[in-house]
A and B are shown apart, each in its own frame.
Chain A
Amino acid sequence: TQLLEQSPQFLSIQEGENLTVYCNSSSVFSSLQWYRQEPGEGPVLLVTVVTGGEVKKLKRLTFQFGDARKDSSLHITAAQTGDTGLYLCAGALFGSNTGKLIFGQGTTLQVKP
């Protein structure tokens, strides 16, 4: 059973379209992060959200942490071909101070020109 359920797992869209990726759990997280991974590289941190209800924007990317700190979403506006990649959500479990992260399965995004 996956502690963090990420959906969808695959997404293929045209350039200019909008999309949302979801990350859901029954567990409470002290923080939730979104990473992006390019082929042949390790994941790179995009953003961290720590407060329930928090919304962060990074250019065309909007990240939201659920009020109960059990879920998060990533919304991309007017997707570009450069957004293509693997997007991973990861959470630090509430009450843990080891820094261990629980990862979702990942969403492979393909943006076609």
Chain B
Amino acid sequence: NAGVTQTPKFQVLKTGQSMTLQCAQDMNHNSMYWYRQDPGMGLRLIYYSASEGTTDKGEVPNGYNVSRLNKREFSLRLESAAPSQTSVYFCASSVFGSRTGEAFFGQGTRLTVV
């Protein structure tokens, strides 16, 4: 059982370039999330999708867009990368409406913007 799969695992971009981070889950979860992790900051929510067809902003959405392609896939796009977007990005999924909110995470994408 693959769980949550993210691609790519590593990426180096030049300032101003664009890219899309891909995420797919095979656990039939309704809700999917994109977080970024920076030293000393924990995980901060960028965007989430509570169910297929809906997306909402999280804590730090500026500079990002998302697409919930279907129930399995949730992509994150950087239209014009900036050095401040250098981070480790995690995709996660969970059962919608769960009071406990337990999340399952991918292995992360390490992005460096130079």
Contact = CB atoms under 8 A, between A and B. Distances in A.
Interface in B37-58: 40-45, 48, 50, 56, 58
Contacts of A50: 99-100
A97 B97 contact: yes
A105 to B, nearest CB: 4
Interface string B80-110: 0000000000101011111111111111100
A64 interface: no
Q: Contact size class for B?
A: 20 to 34
B102 A98 contact: no
Contact of A99 (B40, B94, B105): B94
Q: Is the interface of B mostly helix, strand, loop or mixed?
A: loop
Contacts of B74: none
Interface stretch (A12-20, A35-43, A55-63, A70-78): A35-43
A45 interface: yes
Nearest to A92: B101
B47 to A, nearest CB: 11
A48 B42 CA distance: 18
Contacts of A97: 96-97, 99
Contacts of A41: 107-108
Contacts of B95: 99
A97 B40 CA distance: 28
Nearest to B40: A105
B43 to A, nearest CB: 4
A89 to B, nearest CB: 9
Interface in A52-107: 88, 90, 92, 97-101, 103-106
11 contacts: A2-B42, A41-B107, A42-B106, A45-B102, A50-B100, A92-B101, A98-B31, A99-B94, A99-B98, A100-B58, A106-B42
Interface of B: 4, 31, 33, 35, 40-45, 48, 50, 56, 58, 90, 92, 94-108
Interface of A: 2, 4, 6, 9, 30-31, 33, 40-45, 48, 50, 88, 90, 92, 97-101, 103-106
